[in-house]
Homo-oligomer: A and B are copies of this chain.
Amino acid sequence: MKKRQTVTLKHIAEALNLSVSTVSRSLKNHKDISQETINLVKAKAKELNYFPNIFAQGFRNKRTHMIGVVVPNITHYYTSTLLEGILDEAEKKGYHVIIMGSKDSYKKQIELLDTMIHLGVDGILLSLTRDTQNINQIIKYIEQVPLILFDKVSRKVPCTQVIIDEEQAGFNAVKHLIEIGKKRIAIFKETEDSFNSMRRYEGYLRALKTYNLPVDESIILSSKNIPMEQGRILAETLLQNPNRPDAVFCITDSCAVGAMQTFKKHHLKVPQDIAIVGFSNSLISQVVEPQITTINQPGIKVGQTAINYLIDEIDHPNVNFMDYKTVAIKTNLIVRNSTVLIP
């Protein structure tokens, strides 16, 4: 390993018999410098393959052009689409991204945020862990650095938030079930500490209300989190119900797959006997038989939107504390064979 090349302003200055300051100013088109000199400097800079030393810059100014991203779990498919949007957009705008995973631990989340601050990031994109109760801790960070919430958010935190329109998505899912003639629609959801699940549930309720269907607590099933196994368990529970529903809206695709497996095991026909709608349009929703009708979440767009709002906030630090907004990205329903028979 050789020492890496390191051409500095000084080299350009010496080659051109100019001062370092003139070179520095030329490269950023300072008005004090003649166009002639500017051209000269830029040419020489390109010739020598000059690149500013990020650390000297970040040290002198306070800008580092780095953005920190903290998410609960990196290996989740939807998360990776969010990250893709973030990374692409960041690169376009000349920012670099540092990603860290909090493993859904509040304590770890705080540690990571501290690290980010100390690393000197210009701003932070945060997706909250499920057990984020102590909002005050988070608020302290907002006072130190531009921070916006995305995906897993909380209304209680006063900052800009970018999410998908969970409520509308839930509404559309149930509306679809109603439109295909289902009358008794169950829901498998998470317990109250999940913001996303709560909002989807609100959509469910609004749809029932809009179409004058009764709300029956006995077919509203919750559990702490919803992996596939939980879908099976809730499905078993549901089948105990003397008045079996003719459809179920599952808050996640995994849960929907688990539920479907159980229904099939009990020789129920999907969608004739019981229709299923999932959430996420994950890969598995497309490979099971029948394929699952689901909500498509444009993760890339959420990521892009989030980082653009963040960069905007970084560039305009004057914005008022109370001047934040919630941005809801629209979803779309993808209809497949778990709700309607397509030849």
**Interface residues of A, Cβ cutoff 8 Å to B:** 1-2, 4-5, 51, 53-56, 58-59, 64, 74-77, 79-81, 83-84, 87-88, 91, 96-101, 115, 117-120, 142-146, 228, 257, 282-284, 287-289, 317
Residue of A51, A56, A143, A287 with most chain B CB atoms under a 10 A cut-off: A287
| Distance in angstroms between the alpha carbons of A222 and B49 in the assembled complex | 43
Q: Judging by beta carbons under 8 Å apart, are A84 and B80 in contact?
A: no
Q: Which residue of B lies closest to A4 (CB)?
A: B144
Instruction: Tell whether, in the assembled complex, residue A96 and residue B119 are in contact, meaning their CB atoms are under 8 Å apart.
Output: yes
Known interface pairs A55-B64, A75-B81, A284-B284; A144-B97 also in contact (CB < 8 Å): no
Q: Check B59–A56 contact: CB distance below 8 A.
A: yes
Number of identical monomers bound together in the oligomeric complex: 2
Shortest CB distance A51–B (Å) = 4
A291 to chain B, nearest CB (A): 11
B257 touches A287 (CB 8 A): yes
Chain B residues positioned under 8 Å from A98 (CB to CB): 96-98
Interfacial chain B residues near A101, Cβ < 8 Å: 84, 87-88
Q: Please state if B120 and A100 are interface contacts (CB–CB under 8 Å).
A: no
Q: Which residues of B are found within 8 Å of A289, using beta-carbon distances? A: 288-289
Q: Are B118 and A51 in contact (CB under 8 A)?
A: yes
Query: Nearest Cβ distance between residue A80 and chain B, in whole angstroms?
Result: 4
A80–B75 touching, CB < 8 Å:
yes
Q: 6 closest Cβ contacts across the A-B interface?
A: A55-B59, A55-B58, A75-B80, A51-B118, A4-B144, A284-B287
| Residues in B neighbouring A58, C-beta threshold 8 A | 55
Bound Cα distance A206, B162 (Å): 53
What are 8 of the A-B contact pairs (CB < 8 Å)? Answer: A2-B143, A4-B144, A54-B118, A54-B119, A55-B55, A74-B83, A80-B80, A284-B284
Other-chain residue from B77, B87, B118 in contact with A99 (beta carbon distance below 8 A): B87
